[in-house]
Amino acid sequence: MLAGVVYSATDRQLLEELAATREVIFDYNQLRPSQMDKKREILKGLLGHVGDDEIIVNQPFYCDYGKQISVGKRFFANFNLTILDEAPVSIGDDCFIGPNVGIYTACHSTDPVERNSRKEWAKPVSIGNNVWIGGGVTILPGVTIGDNVTIGAGAVVVCDIPSDTIAAGNPCKVIKHL
């Protein structure tokens, strides 16, 4: 799965890992807002890497495995962040993510017979430093977003976005160079 090759989504080990992660996510999403220390403790155990400085991930938060997610220093995610981390998802320092954002790495065939075989593959997502992702953004598998980027609300990011730009739309495209 992590190598980007086709794998079975019904693999027993993967299903067990998904179930274990969902238990942790359930506990995280049930914490009271005042339980910041417990939230940080759970995130540090769930995610593959957490930057040294404070991170905030508002509930609810959803992911598939957690361990393939890396977030940098001073990370903030608003309500309802979903990360499907079948491949690595790397998010740099000083990144802000608006509400209702989805970051996806899993890929499925467009052929219905192939899709129904439950075979899939995954492509990593990389987000640089100093990035602001507006509310309702969807980031698709294999995308790289550079440093110092703003992604406008509602964008569907289907291709790489270079550093020092503002991008928006469906499909997302650069609308301004900084």
What are 6's two structure tokens? Answer: 């086709």
CA–CA separation, 133 vs 65, rounded Å? 22
Report the amino acid identity of residue 176: K
CA–CA separation, 156 vs 86, rounded Å? 19
Active site residue 49: no
Kindly name the residue from 67, 73, 108, 119 that is annotated as catalytic: 108
Three-class HEC string of 98-122: CCCCEEECEECCCCHHHHHCCEEEE
Q: Which residues fall within 8 angstroms of residue 155, CB to CB, at 6 or more apart?
A: 134, 137, 138, 167, 168, 169, 170, 172
Residues marked as catalytic: 108
